[in-house]
Structure formats: C-alpha cells, structure tokens
C-alpha cells in the first residue's frame, strides 16, 4: 500500500513536522541530497531518517500553539466541565441511538461515491446530471460516473439497497466490541487487542495502518502513535468517536475520556482532539436544542491554544458574519486548504459548516458537509450521526433512511450483515 512506501513516509513526516511548528528547511535539503546520491530508498533508509535525521528539529520562529497529547495537560488546557446526568426516557434513548446509527450510515453513503473529491469536481459531476447543488444521494449518470472515478455505484441514487461496507461504519462496531469486552474504563492497549483480532491490515489506512504495524512489531501506546507515523493528526481517530458519545448521553466528560483512550493508540495532538471534539458533540446532542450549542459544547473539550480550537472558533465566527455557506466554505478553504484531504482540522471545519448552516435540517446538513469535498464519507457520517441523535430515528426523513432498508454491511467478524435496529439494541444494552 502507498502509505507504507518508505520514500512517502519520510516526505510525509517532514510535512507533519512542519505543521507541528518545526523548521524543516534543512530536513528537506538533506532528503533531496540523499535521494540524489542514492539510487534506491528502502525501509532501512526511512528508519535512518526517522531515528537520526528527524531528531530534535528546531522550532520555527513565531509558532504560537501549544498542543499536548497527555490527558492531564489536555484537561488543563481546555474548559472541561462536568454535567449532571440527564433523565431520558428509555424509549426516547433507544430512538436517539437508532437515529444516530441511521444518520451515520446515511451520511456515509451520501459521501461514499465522491470520497476524496474537491468541491469543484463534485459540482462538475452534478452539472453533468443537470443538477446545480447536492440535495440528495448522488445521481447515477451511467458510464460517465466511471469516467469521473466513482468507485461505489451501489451508493448512488436508485442503486442504494443497504449501507455498504465502509470503515466509518466498521469503527462503531469495533468500539462496541471494546466496550463489551473491557467496559467504559478501557485502555489504549485494549483497543489494540480488539483491532488485531477484528481488523484486517488491508482495511486500515494512514495513522491506523502505522499503529497496526507498530502493534505487530510489539510496540505499546503511546509509541504506537508516534513511531514512524506521519499521519498522527489525520482524521482516523475522529471517525472512531461516535459510540463513545452515544453511550454517554449528556455526559460529555465521560465520552471524551473514552475518545482519548481510543485515539491515543494511533494519534497525537489534533488527531486526539478531533475524536474528543466529536465524542463531546455527540454526547451533547442528547440535550442541546441547536447545532450551534452542540458545537460550542464540543469545543469546551479542545485545548484552547491548539490549531483545532482556532479553526473551529474561526468557523463559528464566519457563521456569524457570512450568511451563505458557500462563501463561508471559500474562506475556510483559503485558511485551511493547505492540509491533507484526510487531515483532522480541515474536515472538522466542514463538519461544523454542515451543522451550523444546516440549522437542524438533516438533509441540508449532510449535503453541505459532503458538498464541501475532501473526506466526504467521514464528514457526512459525522454530521448524520449528530443530527440522528438530535432528531431520533422517528424524526429522520424517510426519503433519506428508507433506501438503507435497515441494513448495514461490515468487515468486522460477526457483523458482516446486520440490521441497524439490532445494532442499536446491542448498543442500548450497554446503558442498562
């Protein structure tokens, strides 16, 4: 796989170090000379760079962020708050959990055919179908869909019969197994154990792939997250947050602690904060009445001197100043478009854009999140999950959820073909 190419690992590590505030000018020059002087570049060469060349690079002048990865420091840097557990009727609680799963699956399927696309390419595809903007599942334009690079035609409008397999749908199930086996006070090592038993190596990517490789090598957290892992701030942890919010209704401090213990296996800094942010939003969605309140609650658990806190605060500010989401998107891209298409920060911004400008309308919210582009299935899934909690299954529009036929595919053993309602009942039992 491309993410284990040693040359790419080294180049991506230099980019990651630059984003973390280090001066990498000499590192880039060293790599360029090394490539000129050596015909090949294998994993031993990569290890030389990670172990020797990348040691203690100097900080870049003017870098103003402070981004810890240790739990106690994250708490100290954030506005952590404890809330009294709300009283939610059992019937309503199940409806919210079921809605979360349906919403996540729906948003994921909406974004799946165009995963990794830019907004410009998405609009070009829609124009080919005679549509100006995204308002429903992507249309099937026949052979031209293949020309555009659509890989999952089963998720196109009219073809959708179920939620087809996707890692955004696998991880809630993986973490269900973590919670069933180890309870709410699990540790990162427990997560790694469940991964090795249930996740094929070929179906993990970027930071998760690096962490998986490190687990097999015998490393333990936090080294699994840092050893030769240039993707430690990518979106992978952020998409694993959902179940921790679902099983912590109105108790965000519990949700974010579980999210932290999950994320620490594979991520650091903003990679960890992204999962905590989403977990807190999902927990808050059980008690908040507006999407903006959900975002503000989630932001309490993000370190205030981090790039993620700055980015989400910026989106909140733009929302107050710019009425059209498309113009807000352009401003966000101008500021954060520099990040990789599966980075935590830019994609978290798109999640917040969907929530704020969707204003509680399920279809509008997921469509905005997906039309923003980049990691479309992840962002659609996260927004769909949050709106699913807020609206409950009974409040979700039939035209969006009916095509799924209450059915989800997964690669997780024992869940290859599962009723979404049955999965919701299994999660519900964790709260009994």
Which of these, 338, 263, 285, 274, lies nearest to 309 by C-alpha position? 274
Which of these, 277, 212, 197, lies nearest to 244 by C-alpha position? 277
Beta-carbon count within 10 A of 4 CB: 13
Q: Is 375 known as a binding-site position?
A: yes
**Residue 262 · residue 275 · CB < 8 Å:** yes
- Strand locations in 80-192 (E): none
Half-sphere exposure of 96 (CA within 13 A, CB side): 25
| d(C-alpha 245, C-alpha 101), whole Å | 12
With a CB cutoff of 8 Å and minimum separation 6, the contacts of 340 are 15, 234
* CB burial string 321-348: b at 16+ within 10 A, e below: eeeebeebbeebbebbeebbbbbbbbbb
Beta-carbon count within 10 A of 6 CB: 18
Find tokens 């099983």 and name the residue. 247
Q: Is 361 known as a binding-site position?
A: no
What is the secondary structure of 219-242 as a DSSP string?
--TTHHHHTT-TTTTBTTTGGG-H
| d(C-alpha 416, C-alpha 407), whole Å | 10
- Calculate the CA 350 to chain-centre distance: 11
Q: Is 377 known as a binding-site position?
A: yes
CA distances, 423 to each of 248, 269, 407 (Å) = 17, 32, 10
| d(C-alpha 183, C-alpha 31), whole Å | 46
Q: Is 166 known as a binding-site position?
A: no
What is the secondary structure of 393-426 as a DSSP string?
GGGS-HHHHGGGTTEEE-SSTT-SEEEHHHHHHH
Binding annotation: 167-168, 375, 377
Binding annotation for Mg(2+): 167-168, 375, 377
């Amino acid at each position: 796989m491309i993410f284990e190419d040693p040359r790419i690992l080294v180049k991506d590590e230099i980019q990651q170090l630059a984003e973390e505030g280090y001066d990498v000018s000499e590192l880039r020059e060293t790599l360029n000379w090394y490539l000129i002087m050596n015909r090949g570049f294998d994993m031993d060469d990569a290890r030389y760079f990670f172990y020797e060349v990348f040691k203690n690079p100097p900080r870049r002048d003017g870098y103003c962020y402070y981004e810890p990865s240790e739990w106690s420091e994250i708490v100290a840097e954030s506005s952590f708050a404890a809330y009294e557990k709300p009283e939610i009727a059992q019937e309503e609680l199940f409806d919210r959990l079921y809605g979360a799963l349906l919403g996540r699956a729906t948003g994921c399927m909406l974004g799946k055919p165009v995963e990794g696309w830019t907004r410009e390419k998405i609009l070009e595809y829609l124009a080919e179908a005679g549509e100006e903007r995204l308002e429903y599942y992507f249309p099937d334009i026949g052979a031209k869909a293949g020309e555009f690079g659509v890989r999952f035609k089963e998720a196109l409008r009219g073809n959708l019969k179920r939620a087809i397999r996707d890692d955004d749908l696998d991880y809630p199930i993986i973490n269900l197994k973590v919670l069933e086996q180890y309870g709410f006070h699990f540790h990162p090592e427990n997560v790694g154990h469940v991964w090795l038993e249930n996740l094929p190596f070929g179906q993990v990517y970027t930071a998760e792939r690096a962490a998986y490789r490190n687990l097999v090598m015998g490393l333990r957290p936090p080294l699994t997250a840092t050893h030769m892992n240039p993707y430690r701030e990518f979106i992978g942890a952020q998409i694993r947050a959902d179940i921790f919010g679902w099983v912590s209704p109105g108790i965000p401090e519990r949700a974010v602690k579980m999210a932290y213990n999950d994320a620490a296996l594979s991520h650091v800094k903003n990679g960890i904060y992204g999962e905590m942010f989403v977990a807190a939003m999902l927990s808050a969605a059980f008690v908040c009445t507006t999407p903006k309140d959900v975002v503000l609650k989630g932001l309490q658990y993000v370190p205030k001197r981090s790039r993620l806190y700055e980015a989400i605060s910026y989106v909140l500010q733009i929302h107050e100043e710019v009425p059209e989401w498309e113009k807000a998107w352009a401003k966000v891209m101008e500021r954060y478009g520099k990040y990789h298409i599966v980075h935590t920060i830019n994609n978290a911004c798109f999640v917040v854009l969907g929530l704020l400008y969707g204003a509680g309308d399920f279809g509008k919210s997921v469509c905005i999140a997906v039309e923003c582009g980049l990691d479309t299935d992840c962002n659609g899934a996260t927004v769909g999950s949050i709106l699913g909690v807020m609206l409950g299954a009974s409040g979700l529009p039939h035209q969006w959820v009916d095509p799924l036929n209450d059915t989800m595919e997964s690669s997780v053993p024992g869940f290859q073909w599962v009723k979404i309602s049955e999965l919701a009942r299994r999660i519900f039992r964790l709260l009994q």
